[in-house]
Amino acid sequence: MKNLYLIIFACLLFCFSQSTYGQSTNFFNQKNIFSVRASFNPRLIPIGQNGNYTDDGMYANEGVGRGTYYQYYDQNNKLVGGDQKFNLMLNASYKRIYNSDKVIGVEFNYQKHNLTINETANIGFTEDDYDISKPFLISTPVFNTYDIQILLGSFSDAVLAPNQHLFTYGLGVRMFSLDQDQNYRIDSETPITDLDDFLDDYEKIFIYTRFSMNYTYRMLITKNLSLDLGLNFNIGLYQDMEAVDNLPMEYGYFTGESAAYSRNFVRNKLGHETFFNMLYFRTGLSFAI
Amino acid sequence: MKSQYIRSFFVALFLFPLILNAQETSLTQFKTSISIGKAPVIFTTSFDDKVAAKIESTNNIKDDDKEEYARYTNYALNSLLQSGLVLYGDPMTVFVEKVAAKLLANEPNLEKELQFYVIKSNITNALCTDPGVIFITTGLISQIENEAQLAYIIAHEIVHYQEKHLEESFNKSKETNLEITTSYEDLVLLSKDHEFEADANALKLYHAAGYSDKEINTVFDVLMYSYLTFDEVKIDNSFFGNPEVYIPESYFPEKANPILAFEEYDDSKSTHPNIRRRKDAIANEIEKYRDWKNNSHFIETEEFSYVQNIARFESVRENLMRSDYIKSLYEIYILEKEFPKNEFLQTSKALAWLFMSQTNLSGKKRSFIKKIDEKEGSISMVYSFLSKLSSEEMALMAVRQTHDIHKEFPSSKRIKEIRDEAISALAHVRRFDINKLEKISYLDAIKLREEYLTDTVQTDTLAIEGESKYDKIKRIRAKQSSTKSTTELIDENFSAFLLYDLVGNREFNEIYEKEIEKIKNEKGYTSLSKKERKQLKKERNKKLEGDIILITPQLEANYKGNFDLDKTLLFYDIMVKEIPKYAPTERVYDNSIALAEDFTTEKYNEACLINSYLVQKINLNNGEFKDQIIDYEDMQGLIKKFNNPYLVLISGEANKSSIFRNSLSGKAQYIEISTGNVLKSNYYSVNLKIRKASVGGLVFEVFSKF
């Protein structure tokens, strides 16, 4: 894991070394850029890993989740599942240009994240020693996700900033906070789940460190306004992403006791899932002044 | 439009005699020629109107290509008209028009279609552009010997027009898919057949007008030797004016380089056939005509020589402007025999010496002395001499020459200023010791030495008994110093005697000391504290105050490396619209030569003046020295009209290499006319096509300095 910090450091160095031949001026002397963008995360990695019930009624757990998968009990107590085609992230950023082509700024992102909870309990064994498992605690807690990042970067030095190619690196935090307004049914029998029984300390937010690399191609519409097209590569700097420890107690299912998810488990699972949503395509508008 | 043209023509005709009377033919108060009278229609018609008219009148070109032809020929013509070099209504143009009128006496229709202008250029050339506009250069007028020769050249150009050679060339280039360009040299790229045809058919007009056949061959000689100065004169001591000035013989080569021009040069890559072939061809043609008259002129020869002298004076000026100082000096040397004590010539001479000294001290000697071996004729002597001079000798020569001119024109403030500058330049000579200068001239020193030698011979005979060898040397040295000259009298030391009359002059020493002091102060800048340097940097980035004189920007658009006329015009178009948005309009004075209805001769002359200034500025290599403007009085008059004006020269280039790859770049130079300081804008470069935002950005950048 220490290597990652090294990589970030190297990337930051790269970002500063890039433009030793910077322009000595700006396009219309514009030094401030305000951007509003939408980022789309096509489910490139999870797409082959969609969770599904197998023919024998078993549930394939791998690939479930990854932020876009959802499952819930509908009014007829029927389990409904599916996946959205992409994650949508909204960004707003402010950047200040200094030294003609370098930028420093701050970026805010917002998106919703579906954490798929889908546990199975072993309820017996078949003759062939296969587990007979039964899914329980099926739900999709929705998290509002906020990123705050410091951006550093530079424009390509061939043309005046702010114009055309922009490379930025962001370092900041990603915060997940449970959307408490929704009703999460953990099974068909429970019409309303008390959030206390659903998640330990549900009011507390989860904080991760994040690093991002962005490339933006700016197409000028007017001298101040431009259309941005870009790529955004997000890496979560969370170390332990195997969501195996701290599972809710299986006996809870049998005893009917509350089996609230521990924070540690959710934390690991969130980290794990977001890791599969690294690449975003961005589009939006920038206003430079 | 035609009637308007005729009217302007008559107005002009009416004006000419007045002008001739007004301008004294002695050229004592020569100033560079300016256009006179009402602007010809060609200057007041917009580009689009000209194109429309051309499309209408073109017959020999396919309908599809007509517009392209019209646009390209008119763009080329406009570039020429906007060069600031074209004259109308001046004595030279009037003379050309008179000669043309004589040639076209029997061709009234043709006469109405044709227009004649003189271009200030030392290139010996005449050219015909498509709408029947014929240009004759001042270089040509300065070289030819009489009216008949001019008549033959004009007739030659008229034939190019008559026979529609340009259209033929265009069609030919269309057929062979050659790239059409707009440089005027290429525009007259007529095939050699066209040249032979023009040579031959010109005889018709020429013969009919009654000129002599004997002048025709000479025309070809004029063309062949046109690279030489307009006359060939031997260089002797009078070149340096002052008889007291001793220039050692050893500084001159034994003889001048020979003149090598020969008639049968390889013409395979030239647009024109070689002179030998043309002479042979024309000899046959001449025989076809009978009853040759013997006239070499119809107009008074005084008028021709007046006009020719103007052209020669212009040549001096142009050479100065283009930093061809030696050619300029040589021409002055030729002209001053006919025009002794001419203030223009002498001022130019002083300037040439000053510029040479300053350029030399700036380490740019090679910019005006190069390829000495290739110089032909007497001028090679001057080149050779000046190349042998060290910086110190050149600086001293410059003071000598300018001071002599100053003595000749003691009342001229301008010449005094030039001389003072030459003295100041001395302070910039490395390892120069003013105390080494002698108070007597070299020739006087020789005389004194001779007297002394006869003295010592006598003393030597009275050898003092018991005197050691060293006592004797001491005695002789003591005697030597009493001759007022300590410098050894050898050729290498000639420069120490150059300023014999100035050394004791208080003013001379004061100017020199002042400059030394100034240099010392400037050197102090290097040891500034960080804070002071920051302050200095801040001052440098300070906004410029003062008026802005705008001249026509230099814009060019290319598509895949080839000139794109439509996009270039679009570039200009957007630029014109964007300038008022970002320029401080109350301080901006547009002095570009815009060919539109509001064109006036006064504005045009002003723009031409600024153009000339720019040409000089671009060619000047005088480093940190203060600029001396060639058209001094006119420029002073112009500067007075403004508040510390800056000349803003915008240049821009747009390239499109594919649909997705566009770039537009540009920069500006700001020349503070009063000081000659040049500042540069930041380099502007965006990957955008020619559009409001990209061009606007460039304009914004250019004017962000104000």
Q: Do both B154 and B30 map to the same domain?
A: yes
Rounded-to-integer distance, Cα B246 and Cα B256, Å: 20
Q: Do both B448 and B510 map to the same domain?
A: no
Cβ contact B687–A164 (<8 Å): yes
Selected for mutation to probe chain B from A26, A28, A222, A229 (highest B CB count within 10 Å) is A28
Rounded-to-integer distance, Cα B134 and Cα A98, Å: 56
The architecture of the domain spanning A2-288 is Beta Barrel (2.40)
Determine the 3-state secondary structure of A123 from DSSP: strand
With a cut of 90, say whether residue A104 has pLDDT above it. yes
B215 to A9, B124, B158, B208: CA distances (angstroms): 84, 17, 18, 15
ipTM: 0.74
| B677-680 vs A225-236, strand pairing mode | unpaired
CB of A227 within 8 Å of a chain B CB? The answer is: no
CB of B682 within 8 Å of a chain A CB? The answer is: yes
Determine the 3-state secondary structure of A43 from DSSP: coil
Determine the 3-state secondary structure of B273 from DSSP: coil
CB of A285 within 8 Å of a chain B CB? The answer is: no
User: Mean pLDDT lowest for which of A57-71, B415-429, B442-456, B459-473?
Assistant: A57-71
pLDDT for residue A19: 41
Write the residue in A29, A159, A222 that is nearest to B686 by C-beta.
Answer: A159
CB B368 within 8 A of CB B325: yes
Determine the 3-state secondary structure of B481 from DSSP: helix
Distance from CA of B684 to the nearest CA of A (A): 7
Write the residue in A28, A163, A222 that is nearest to B700 by C-beta.
Answer: A28
Nearest chain B residue to A226 by CA: give it: B693
Nearest chain B residue to A30 by CA: give it: B697
E strand segments, chain A: 32-42, 52-53, 59-60, 69-73, 79-83, 86-98, 102-114, 117-125, 131-139, 142-155, 164-178, 206-220, 225-236, 279-288
CB B378 within 8 A of CB B233: yes
Mean pLDDT across B665-680: 87
**B529-538: long-range contacts, CB 8 A cutoff, minimum separation 24:** none
Write the residue in B663, B685, B697 that is nearest to A223 by C-beta.
Answer: B697
Cβ contact A160–B684 (<8 Å): yes
Task: Indicate whether B492 belongs to any domain.
Answer: no
Nearest chain A residue to B662 by CA: give it: A159
Higher per-residue pLDDT: A14 or B510: B510
Distance from CA of A168 to the nearest CA of B (A): 20
Determine the 3-state secondary structure of B655 from DSSP: strand
With a cut of 50, say whether residue B182 has pLDDT above it. no
> For residue B8, what pLDDT band results from cuts at 50, 70 and 90?
very low
Cβ contact B688–A24 (<8 Å): no
**∠ at Cα B421 (B419, B424), nearest 5°?**
115
Task: Indicate whether B493 belongs to any domain.
Answer: no
The one-character DSSP state at A78 is -
**pLDDT tens by residue, B376-405:** 888 888 898 899 888 899 999 999 999 999
B138 to B185, B415, B601: CA distances (angstroms): 17, 27, 20
Q: Do both B355 and B461 map to the same domain?
A: no
Rounded-to-integer distance, Cα A45 and Cα A63, Å: 9
**Shortest CA distance to B88 belongs to which of B147, B157, B152, B38?**
B38
**pLDDT tens by residue, A229-262:** 999 888 876 666 565 555 555 545 555 555 677 7
Rounded-to-integer distance, Cα B615 and Cα B638, Å: 17
Task: Using an 8 Å CB-CB cutoff, list chain A residues near B694.
Answer: 220
Distance from CA of B698 to the nearest CA of A (A): 8
Domain span at residue B473 reads 439-486
Cβ contact A27–B697 (<8 Å): yes
CA B344 distance to own-chain centroid: 15
Determine the 3-state secondary structure of B394 from DSSP: helix
Q: Do both B472 and B503 map to the same domain?
A: no
Torsion angle of alpha carbons B417, B423, B428, B430, nearest 10°?
A: 160
Write the residue in B682, B683, B697 that is nearest to A28 by C-beta.
Answer: B697
Question: What phi, psi does A19 have (nearest 5°)?
Answer: -120, 70
Cβ contact B700–A163 (<8 Å): no
pLDDT for residue A44: 62
Q: Do both B66 and B128 map to the same domain?
A: yes
Question: What phi, psi does B94 have (nearest 5°)?
Answer: -60, -40
B403: tokens are 């001071």
Higher per-residue pLDDT: B268 or B110: B110
Mean pLDDT across A121-125: 55
Cβ contact A23–B700 (<8 Å): no
- Of all residues in chain B, the percent with pLDDT exceeding 70 is 88
**pLDDT tens by residue, B183-237:** 444 444 446 778 888 888 888 899 999 999 888 888 888 888 888 888 888 888 7
CB of A23 within 8 Å of a chain B CB? The answer is: yes
> For residue B73, what pLDDT band results from cuts at 50, 70 and 90?
confident
B431: tokens are 């390892």
Q: Do both B458 and B338 map to the same domain?
A: no
| B548-550 vs B684-686, strand pairing mode | unpaired
> For residue B453, what pLDDT band results from cuts at 50, 70 and 90?
confident
CA B50 distance to own-chain centroid: 30
Q: Do both B606 and B509 map to the same domain?
A: no
**pLDDT tens by residue, B590-648:** 888 888 888 889 889 988 998 899 888 888 888 888 888 888 888 888 888 888 889 89
Task: Indicate whether B355 belongs to any domain.
Answer: yes
Say how many domains are in chain B: 4
Rounded-to-integer distance, Cα A245 and Cα B90, Å: 100
Distance from CA of A28 to the nearest CA of B (A): 5
Task: Indicate whether B314 belongs to any domain.
Answer: no
Determine the 3-state secondary structure of A211 from DSSP: strand
**Shortest CA distance to B205 belongs to which of B160, B165, B243?**
B160
Which amino acid is residue B345, in one-letter code? L
CB of A28 within 8 Å of a chain B CB? The answer is: yes
CB of B653 within 8 Å of a chain A CB? The answer is: no
Nearest chain A residue to B687 by CA: give it: A159
pLDDT for residue B371: 84
Rounded-to-integer distance, Cα B499 and Cα B347, Å: 20
**pLDDT tens by residue, A132-160:** 555 566 677 888 999 999 999 988 877 78
Alpha helices in chain A (DSSP H): 2-17, 195-198, 251-255, 263-275
CB B103 within 8 A of CB B206: yes
CB of A222 within 8 Å of a chain B CB? The answer is: yes
Cβ contact B696–A25 (<8 Å): no
CB of A163 within 8 Å of a chain B CB? The answer is: yes
CB B57 within 8 A of CB B30: no
Cβ contact A220–B693 (<8 Å): yes
Task: Using an 8 Å CB-CB cutoff, list chain B residues near A29.
Answer: 700, 704
- Provide the residue ranges of all domains of chain A, joining segments of one domain with +: 2-288
CB of B110 within 8 Å of a chain A CB? The answer is: no
Distance from CA of B700 to the nearest CA of A (A): 6
B555: tokens are 């814009």
Distance from CA of A159 to the nearest CA of B (A): 5
Mean pLDDT across B141-147: 92
CB of B706 within 8 Å of a chain A CB? The answer is: no
CB of B697 within 8 Å of a chain A CB? The answer is: yes
Q: Number of A to B CB contacts under 8 A, please give it.
A: 39
Q: Do both B587 and B691 map to the same domain?
A: yes
pLDDT for residue A122: 55
Task: Indicate whether B232 belongs to any domain.
Answer: no
Higher per-residue pLDDT: A59 or B515: B515
Cβ contact A160–B685 (<8 Å): yes
CB of A27 within 8 Å of a chain B CB? The answer is: yes
Mean pLDDT across B341-356: 93
Write the residue in A25, A163, A223 that is nearest to B682 by C-beta.
Answer: A25
Rounded-to-integer distance, Cα B698 and Cα B684, Å: 6
CB of A77 within 8 Å of a chain B CB? The answer is: no
Q: Do both B614 and B467 map to the same domain?
A: no
Cβ contact B696–A28 (<8 Å): yes
CB B546 within 8 A of CB B666: no
Find the length of chain A: 289
Mean pLDDT across B555-578: 90
> For residue B248, what pLDDT band results from cuts at 50, 70 and 90?
confident
With a cut of 80, say whether residue A11 has pLDDT above it. no
With a cut of 80, say whether residue A47 has pLDDT above it. no
Q: Do both B38 and B165 map to the same domain?
A: yes
User: For all residues of chain B together, what is the average pLDDT?
Assistant: 83
Task: Indicate whether B127 belongs to any domain.
Answer: yes
Cβ contact A223–B693 (<8 Å): yes
CB B559 within 8 A of CB B552: no
B615 to B86, B319, B539, B612: CA distances (angstroms): 15, 11, 29, 5
Cβ contact B692–A223 (<8 Å): yes
Which of the listed ranges A186-190, A191-195, A218-222, B590-594 does the model predict with the highest average pLDDT? A218-222
pLDDT for residue A239: 63
**Shortest CA distance to A36 belongs to which of A280, A214, A287, A218?**
A287
CB B621 within 8 A of CB B322: no
With a cut of 60, say whether residue B92 has pLDDT above it. yes
| A59-60 vs A52-53, strand pairing mode | antiparallel
Q: Do both B419 and B453 map to the same domain?
A: no
Write the residue in A24, A163, A222 that is nearest to B687 by C-beta.
Answer: A163
Q: Do both B559 and B423 map to the same domain?
A: no
Mean pLDDT across B252-275: 76
The one-character DSSP state at B377 is B
Task: Using an 8 Å CB-CB cutoff, list chain B residues near A159.
Answer: 663, 685-687
CB of B692 within 8 Å of a chain A CB? The answer is: yes
